[in-house]
Structure 1
Amino acid sequence: MQISIKSLLHNYLSQLLSIVTKIPQEIFHKQLASNMFSLAKNAKIAANFSLRGYCPLVDQKIVTFEEDGSTKEGILRTIQKTLNYLDSLPEVTDLDSSRRINDKAGFTTVDLPQPQYIHQYIIPNLLFHISMVYAIARHCGVTLSKGDFDGLHKYPDNFTFIDGF
């Protein structure tokens, strides 16, 4: 059984939506380091990566629903609009290795067959930017668990694997 790419992207974006819901507005400008994107920018990039990956699979122009500014409400709307649009697109049942997709990766161009484009470029980048949102939020004291990231793990409140905390 093969998992749907659309379902996979939808799941990751839903978890991002859940994480962002728990983050207070005052830390959306925070960064892990001065030369890295802010929490808000990472959330926007993550939402955009899902459509950068999926739209080419269904021969649709890549769209973004990025709202101006870095407000929590704007980012939540961006993610929700992205989820809604993704849901409206047709299902891809198979990735075609004979079809190649081009995209920018930093200062280089990637040109990959559909399966590699999704599995080696889109999903790792989507997860990277979601991880940055999670890491910045945790670094700023937001109570999140692995369950917030994957939607599967469950822990009691105040649980820790680290002794002494």
Structure 2
Amino acid sequence: MNANPPIFTATVPVFRHYLSRISDIVALAGPDALDAALADMPSARWQFATAAGFAMRVTCPLAGRDVPDLPSGLGPRLAVARAVLGAMKPAEFDGAEARVIRHRAGFAEIDQTAEQFLYLFGLPNFFFHMTMGYAALRAAGVALGKEDYDGIHLYPADYRLPES
């Protein structure tokens, strides 16, 4: 049985894992490919940097911490976000579900319970930006697979999913 607070379990290990995946994707893609973008959206580099920002923007208030300023460069930004998450302790999240988080969503100023903030705002936005960065790289021809995205799946190199 997991003795960690549920909000800790839903944030710190999840964001650490996927920030690690982003770091690996960035390394596979190389710096030139990170300028790729979908349609009129910002670049993969921007999307991944924004995902790292969301990891901090979501986890820190839930832990009762201030959101730190992150470096502007993507590599250092990912490293700092992962280090901040790595220093967080489960005890910081005791009682987190009772917190109300006031934040901005675009131009909207809103109050959400911790669970609403995490599950309806934080996690979806983190994964949106991670996915847009991944999709931009794929569209630009970077050879990435689902295993690169989640670090869990494994497919043979020549395998193609059947279309239904």
Same fold by TM-score, threshold 0.5 exceeded?
A: yes
User: How many angstroms does 1:40 deviate by?
Assistant: 1.0
SS of aligned partner of 2:29 = coil
Tell me the residue number matched to 1:117: 117
> Which blocks of at least 5 consecutive residues in structure 1 are unaligned?
68-73
Summarize the alignment of residues 145-160 of structure 1 with structure 2, pairs less than 5 Å apart: 145-160=145-160
Tell me the residue number matched to 2:39: 33
Identity of aligned residues (%): 28
SS of aligned partner of 1:28 = helix
SS of aligned partner of 2:102 = strand
Tell me if the contact between 2:62 and 2:99 (Cα under 8 Å) persists in the aligned partners.
no
**Code of the aligned partner of 2:75:** L
Tell me the residue number matched to 2:14: 8
> Which blocks of at least 5 consecutive residues in structure 2 are unaligned?
none
User: How many angstroms does 1:94 deviate by?
Assistant: 5.0
TM-score normalised per structure 2? 0.86
Structure with bigger RCO (C-alpha 8 Å, 6+ apart):
2
Summarize the alignment of residues 1-165 of structure 1 with structure 2, pairs less than 5 Å apart: 1=2, 2=6, 4=9, 5-34=11-40, 36-67=41-72, 74-91=73-90, 92-94=92-94, 96-161=96-161
**Greater helix percent: which structure?**
2
Tell me if the contact between 1:102 and 1:112 (Cα under 8 Å) persists in the aligned partners.
yes
- Tell me, in whole angstroms, the C-alpha distance in 2 between the residues paired with 1:62 and 1:93: 15
- Tell me, in whole angstroms, the C-alpha distance in 1 between the residues paired with 2:133 and 2:87: 26
Tell me if the contact between 2:58 and 2:122 (Cα under 8 Å) persists in the aligned partners.
yes
Tell me if the contact between 2:33 and 2:142 (Cα under 8 Å) persists in the aligned partners.
no
**Code of the aligned partner of 1:51:** M
SS of aligned partner of 2:98 = coil
- Tell me, in whole angstroms, the C-alpha distance in 1 between the residues paired with 2:23 and 2:95: 27
**Code of the aligned partner of 1:20:** V
Tell me if the contact between 2:96 and 2:114 (Cα under 8 Å) persists in the aligned partners.
yes
**Code of the aligned partner of 1:13:** L
Q: CA RMSD in A?
A: 1.8
